[in-house]
Amino acid sequence: MDIKKVGIIGTGTMGVGMAQVCAQAGIPTVAVKATPGTPERAQAGLEKSLARMVERGKMEAAEKDAIVGRIAFTTDEGAVADCDLVIESIIEDLDTKKALFKRLEGVCTPDALLTTNTSTLSVTSMMAVCEHRQRVAGLHFFNPAPAMALVEIIHAFETSESTVRALEAFCKEIGKDPVIVQDTTGFIVNRLLTPYLLSAVRLLERGTGDIEGIDHAMMSGAGHPMGPFALADYIGLDVVNAMAQNIYNDARTDHHNPPHTLTRLVELGYLGRKTGKGFYDYSSKPPTANPALKHPIS
């Protein structure tokens, strides 16, 4: 199956990033803002980040214009009717995603591929509300989508082999490196990464080491480009906490149960880099450990 046009629902971080990737590969793309309001902010955000790449000499101005020109930003879900592939990337909430899949079946042709970019929810549960289930799958990009090579293709219960093959070919066409995964909560990367990040928090709670010490040890001793606390702050502590909670709710594996320190930081609004404080305080350069964590909260 040839994918000539892609529809993306949700114009947040991942939606815009994936739209850029598709348009950069020359594929006309529709990006639908899924909540009230205009999509202008998302479009302006993309244009600004591409303009920065042009300034730094990493992209030609003509390429920037071509990418922007291939993406139609809209608020009309019906605009994906002639898309061969739809990727939903709205809020990580199962009921909201299921309702969207149900609506998409009414909008798209029966052989259009319907996919979700969910990080931790069951693709099979979304498939369950659909009539034409063979074309439903997961297409899990990583953040930032333009830079990260991996895409996990999620093979849910009734996903057909031809759907998986078409998605594999699509990923390669847009320059990504796909891996096929059976529908297990958290898939491969988040299923393995989450307990690692949570274990670092548990070591902190036990007093085994401090934030800087644990990060330093994993960089220097295990060859990781960032330590677990810097990585958690980069991903966003709300995202890590929700990811852990969703996997724990589904799999009941103790090592996915979020520790108190993480949950409390989220409650306090310390979400990592995006709020200026998480495990680290980013107001100082280089960042220093968040003083609130001098006395671990657990």
Ligand X SMILES: NC(=O)c1ccc[n+]([C@@H]2O[C@H](COP(=O)([O-])OP(=O)(O)OC[C@H]3O[C@@H](n4cnc5c(N)ncnc54)[C@H](O)[C@@H]3O)[C@@H](O)[C@H]2O)c1
Residues with a known catalytic role: 119, 140, 152, 190
Interacting stretch for ligand X, rule CB under 6 A, among 8-16, 21-29, 150-158, 277-285? 8-16
SS (H, E, C) 182-239: ECCCCCCHHHHHHHHHHHHHHHHHHCCCCHHHHHHHHHHHHCCCCCHHHHHHHHCHHH
Q: b/e map of 222-232 (b: 16 or more CB within 10 Å)?
A: eeeeebbbbbb
Q: Looking only at residues 13 through 32 of this chain, which bind ligand X when binding is defined by CB under 6 A?
A: 13-15
Tell me the pairing of strands 113-116 and 280-281. Answer: unpaired
35 binds ligand X (CB under 6 A): yes
* Nearest-angstrom CA–CA distance, 45 and 270: 24
Least Å from the CB of residue 92 to ligand X = 4
Listed in sequence order, the residues at least 6 apart from 128 whose beta carbon sits closer than 8 Å to its beta carbon are 98
Tally Cβ neighbours within 10 Å of residue 285: 6
In 3D space, the residue among 201, 200, 192, 22 whose CA is nearest the CA of residue 120 turns out to be: 192
119 binds ligand X (CB under 6 A): yes
Interacting stretch for ligand X, rule CB under 6 A, among 19-27, 58-66, 115-123, 286-294? 115-123
In 3D space, the residue among 87, 151, 138, 83 whose CA is nearest the CA of residue 111 turns out to be: 83
First to last CA, the chain: 52
# binding residues, ligand X (CB under 6 A): 21
Residue in 69, 78, 96, 276 binding ligand X, rule: CB under 6 A? 96
Least Å from the CB of residue 61 to ligand X = 27
Residue in 43, 115, 118, 124 binding ligand X, rule: CB under 6 A? 118
Least Å from the CB of residue 41 to ligand X = 10
134 binds ligand X (CB under 6 A): no
Among residues 190 and 261, whose Cβ is nearest to ligand X? 190
Among residues 118 and 124, whose Cβ is nearest to ligand X? 118
Among residues 94 and 180, whose Cβ is nearest to ligand X? 94
Residue 161 structure tokens: 């082999």
Q: Looking only at residues 230 through 259 of this chain, which bind ligand X when binding is defined by CB under 6 A?
A: 235, 239
Among residues 98 and 217, whose Cβ is nearest to ligand X? 98
Least Å from the CB of residue 142 to ligand X = 6
Which amino acid, residue 224? H
Interacting stretch for ligand X, rule CB under 6 A, among 86-94, 158-166, 257-265, 277-285? 86-94
For ligand X, the binding residues (CB under 6 A) are 10-15, 34-35, 89-92, 96, 117-119, 141-143, 235, 239
